Structure 1
Amino acid sequence: MKKILTLVLFVVAVATMSSVQAADLRVADGTITSAIKNQLPVDRIESYRADFGKLFCFTRIVGAQEDTEVTHVWYYQDAELARVTLPVRSSDWRTYSSKRFLPQWAGQWKVAVLDEEGSEIAVIPFLLE
């Protein structure tokens, strides 16, 4: 009985640590940019030409207690067009994904940033004109 109780307490402790991990993870900086240089965005875009061709979503993730991951989900209006899972390997981690665009995709866009459990931790909106 003592072994079962110890096992139950261990499982509860691990589950609690996982939920604390996810709760502490946040996006300290998130932006859409036309390029990444030296692991940083070169500009910050809220609206851009639809015929530009390619944009990047840069995120600086803080609060990870151990290796984890985030997912960038690219939406055009309400339709998901891309999903990119990215590693997070320290408590202050920079990462990015990119998306190519067609000129006919002018309109409202957003990138939702999800933690490892699929919870939304940030949304970065932008407009293609």
Structure 2
Amino acid sequence: MRNKSALFFRLLSKMSLIILAILIFSTAVLAKTEVLRINVAKDIKNLEPVETGKTFNNDIGKLYCFTKIKTDEYPTKVVHVWLYNDNIIAEVPLEVNSTTWRTYSSKKILPKWVGNWKVEIYSNDGELIDSVEFNIK
């Protein structure tokens, strides 16, 4: 009887380790970062975008890309990649320190930079999680 009990507890211990490994692996694989809200804006006040839009005049001077992030793992980072006519103009890494986090980046806009713009948002693992397009006229 004693050998059966010892064998049972060894099996139970091994099964517990396997289950623990599966849980750790599935948590890592299923960890998700997503954008809940994204806006291009003329300003940011109290961590909220002000005067959002899709078209801005070339004398705007500066624009902001606001993102509200939801994540299963934190702290983590996201990256705002600013593109002008499909060329990378800036890459801005931003900290995410909570399951729901508001953050933003900004970019000075020269009057000669008329045309199509886009900001792509990448998770810490390099996955494109959202983007927003806008135009400077």
CA–CA distance in structure 2, aligned partners of residues 13 and 104 of structure 1: 53
Please state if 1:18 is matched with 2:28. Answer: yes
Offset of 1:44 from its aligned partner?
A: 1.3
Offset of 1:63 from its aligned partner?
A: 2.8
CA–CA distance in structure 1, aligned partners of residues 25 and 133 of structure 2: 33
Please state if 1:39 is matched with 2:47. Answer: yes
Q: Cα deviations across residues 74-105 of structure 1 (Å, max 9, x unaligned)? A: 00011000000001111110000000011111
Q: What TM-score does the superposition give when structure 1 sets the normalisation length?
A: 0.85
Could you tell me which runs of 5 or more consecutive residues in structure 2 were left unpaired when the two chains were aligned: 1-16
Q: Cα deviations across residues 6-58 of structure 1 (Å, max 9, x unaligned)? A: 6xx85x7555433312xx21110000000000010012110001121100000
- Give the number of equivalent residue pairs: 122
- Number of the residue aligned with 1:113: 121
Offset of 1:108 from its aligned partner?
A: 0.3
SS of equivalent to 1:74: strand
- Number of the residue aligned with 1:57: 65
Q: What TM-score does the superposition give when structure 2 sets the normalisation length?
A: 0.81
More displaced, 29-38 or 56-65? Answer: 56-65
The 1:89–1:53 alpha-carbon spacing in structure 2 relative to 1, beyond 3 Å, is same
Could you tell me which runs of 5 or more consecutive residues in structure 1 were left unpaired when the two chains were aligned: 1-5
SS of equivalent to 1:66: coil
Structure (1 or 2) with the greater strand fraction? 2
Q: How does 1:30-109 map to 2 (within 5 A)?
A: 30-109=38-117
Percent of counterpart pairs with the same letter? 37
Query: Runs ≥4 in structure 1, deviation > 6 angstroms?
Result: none
